[in-house]
């Protein structure tokens, strides 16, 4: 049975403000990778996006997803989570504000992201239901 648990030795990767790379599948089958902010709810790694972005469209068509986080100070300390995505609008705005605080020190995401107004987009939480966890 594949490992689907993030061990204590690697929880620092999801607790610290380390950037993650998420990969989804394009309609033509090609992988599409994006740098994202991520968090951990104690059971699932989660990231955030906006409705209508390519990640969101890809996950609506095919929920398969992979997320990788590498310790920027030690390239041999990394985590890969493969699984299926569960997307919800519930808590999307709150999560992006929490992620903004974690990654930028500013709670107000739309103060950091000046190109978009809060009323112009719908934020979604993407929770990864792990089917396999690889680590080093």
Dump pLDDT digits (tens) for 39-75: 999 999 999 999 999 999 999 999 999 999 999 999 9
Mean pLDDT of 109-131: 77
Long-range contacts of 24-32 (CB under 8 A, 24+ apart): 24/54, 24/55, 24/58, 24/59, 24/62, 24/64, 24/65, 24/85, 25/58, 25/61, 25/62, 25/64, 26/54, 26/58, 27/58, 27/61, 32/58
Q: Which domains does the chain have, with CATH numbers?
A: 8-135 (2.30.110.10)
Instruction: Please report the pLDDT score of residue 48 as a whole number.
Output: 97
Instruction: Please report the pLDDT score of residue 106 as a whole number.
Output: 84
More confident residue, 1 or 53: 53
pLDDT grade for 4, boundaries at 50, 70 and 90: confident
Instruction: Please report the pLDDT score of residue 120 as a whole number.
Output: 72
How does pLDDT run across 21-34, given as a tens digit for each residue? 999 999 999 999 99
Instruction: Please report the pLDDT score of residue 114 as a whole number.
Output: 53
Instruction: Please report the pLDDT score of residue 5 as a whole number.
Output: 86
pTM of the predicted model, to two decimals? 0.90
């Amino acid at each position: 049975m594949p490992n689907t648990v993030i061990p204590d030795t690697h929880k620092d990767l999801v607790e610290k403000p380390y950037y993650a790379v998420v990969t989804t599948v394009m309609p033509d089958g090609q992988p599409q990778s994006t740098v994202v902010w991520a968090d951990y709810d104690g059971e699932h790694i989660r990231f955030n996006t906006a409705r209508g972005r390519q990640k969101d469209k890809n996950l609506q068509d095919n929920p398969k997803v992979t997320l990788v986080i590498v310790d920027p100070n030690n390239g041999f300390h990394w985590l890969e989570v493969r699984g299926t995505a569960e997307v919800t609008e519930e808590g999307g705005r709150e999560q992006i504000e929490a992620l903004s605080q974690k990654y930028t020190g500013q709670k107000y995401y739309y103060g950091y992201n000046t190109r978009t107004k809060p009323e112009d987009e719908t934020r979604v939480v993407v929770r990864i239901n792990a089917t396999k966890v690889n680590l080093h």
